[in-house]
Structure 1
Amino acid sequence: MQRITVAVSGRPTVAWRIAGRRPPVVCVHGAGVSSREFRPFIEVLGRRHDAWTVDLPGFGASAGPGHPLGVRALADALVEWLAAVGLDDVVLLGGSFGCQVAVDAAVRHPGRIAGMVLVGPTVDPAARGFVRQMLRWIRNAPHESVSMAALNLADYRDAGGRRVLGAFTESLRDRIEDKLPHVLMPTLVVRGAQDRMVPQEWAEEVTRLLPAGRLAVVEDSGHMVPYRQAHALAGLVVDFLAHECAAAGAGGRAGPREQRSAR
């Protein structure tokens, strides 16, 4: 796995890559955490495709400004980073809050983005509030890998309390549901079957709002599908790249497809 550092807005931005065939898949991490949550996944996907995971400004190993950035600023920084490393026609794979950043980038900068994978997209409007989200997080915790706790704590320490709180606050403020109808590229929505942060009804609504969306459910996983079920998710992504994204690249348009399950 190769570490790549480039300057974005004058500050170093760090990403990890396993080179492979096109299209490149760029993973965008969730609120307060870092690219570390995706490294097990890109080790699997990297056997088939060009796989990247990037630290957004102020998270992980990437430097950021002295203040927390909102969704729009994070999306702009992501697109600036894509240009800096020379990536185009990418597939953005967001995890949790990373879905909100990826969707914002896709709506406002569609020229560089060929497809989307939204894994555990937040925030369900039915639970748009700190207390409701915390209760869902508590209910979801037993369905996550124990090793995720130490990983998350390390990420929170690196980012600092102010930036972590800012990311969670921004996730609640952002109305992803208003943007989804404007995501015109093929999009795969993925939910863990035991995910208590993203209920089935909300995952289905996300898929319905997308002009070219398909839903897949991964068995035996909570919210953190890329970490818990890297092989199952990689299989879904490879299939998506071979069919929906390939059809769109050939001039066709990928329409909605039925829900699938993966084990």
Structure 2
Amino acid sequence: MEPQRCTDRISFGEVASWRVPGPLGPVVCVHGAGVSTRQTMPLLRRLSGRVEAWGVDLPGYGKSTSPGGFLAVPELADALLEWTRAREMDRPCLLGVSMGSQVVAEAAALAPDDVGSVVLAAPTTDPRGRAWPLLGARLIWNNMLEGADVLSYSVPDYWDAGAGRVLRSWAQSRKHRLERVLPDVSQPALVVWGSQDKVCSQAWVEEATRLLPRGRLVVLPGQYHALSSTGPRQLADAVQDFVGEREEAS
């Protein structure tokens, strides 16, 4: 079943989202820096019929309207929470890809009563690779390995967002200190990492998992950084297992 598009108005503007049905969930999928739900759409399609899943365009990206100014990670987390409340979601699982993990972690730490669990897929930014020359080299290397599939959505997304917003989103991802937020995420948390990810190191995702009070790490062999688009089947399997376990335990 193809994802169904929805539009909601919150204080940050109009927010576009896409939904697929399923017996588990809901899971809300949050895209990375400068892109949109185009990045998570392959994952939504894999979750369809298995998990109720939503892909949301954060304010200023994709089909959502501009909030008027640039939103830092904590402000994007506020917008995400406001949208889940507008949708009357009952403690959803928040899933973030790359910089989306930073937004999701901030939201979970800020509103523990409103977020049931989190999935951090390829969480950025690796403190060991935060310096611009190294981070830039890792991004270029990873993008070359991921190939045309990633370019097929990233190029139009960058065009939609505009060069200024994209560059500021990359800088914000680098500036934000996820490692300081993770100890405050009290919900069950799943960290997912592709073994061929050149942006996030294994040492970093292992550290991130240790920093989470209730964290667990799943490694997807042979997968790269943009897991929702390059490894959607494997990521969907991990998400379904995680959400199913949480619902059985509740």
Where on the TM-score scale, by shorter chain, does this alignment land: which range?
over 0.9
**1:19 alignment counterpart:** 21
TM-superposed CA distance for 1:201, in Å, is 0.5
Contact 1:23 1:89 in 2 (8 A): no
Q: How many residues align?
A: 248
Partner of 2:164: 162
Contact 1:143/1:221 (CA < 8 Å) preserved in 2? no
Deviation track 1:166-197 (CA, whole Å, cap 9, x = no partner) reads: 11111111111011011111111001110000
Matched ranges for 1:1-263 at <5 A: 1-9=3-11, 11-244=13-246, 246-247=248-249, 250=250
- Cα deviation, residue 133, structure 1: 1.2
Alpha-carbon distance in structure 1 between the residues aligned to 2:200 and 2:211: 15
Q: In the alignment, residue 28 of structure 1 is paired with which amino acid?
A: V
Q: Report the Cα offset of residue 64 of structure 1.
A: 1.6
When residues 35 and 84 of structure 1 are mapped into structure 2, their CA distance, relative to the original with a 3 A threshold, is same
Q: Is the 8 A contact 1:5 1:15 kept in 2?
A: yes
Q: Percent identity?
A: 43
Inter-partner Cα distance in structure 1 for 2:62 and 2:49: 24
**Structure 1 gap segments, 5+ residues each:** 251-263
Cα distance in 2 for residues equivalent to 1:180 and 1:123: 12
Question: C-alpha separation between the residues in 1 aligned to 2:247 and 2:93?
Answer: 9
1:66 Cα deviation from its structure 2 partner: 2.8
Q: How high is the TM-score relative to the length of structure 2?
A: 0.96
CA RMSD of aligned residues (A): 1.2
Q: Which amino acid aligns with 1:167?
A: S
State the shift of 1:238 in Å: 1.0
Flag structure 2 segments of 5+ consecutive residues without an equivalent.
none
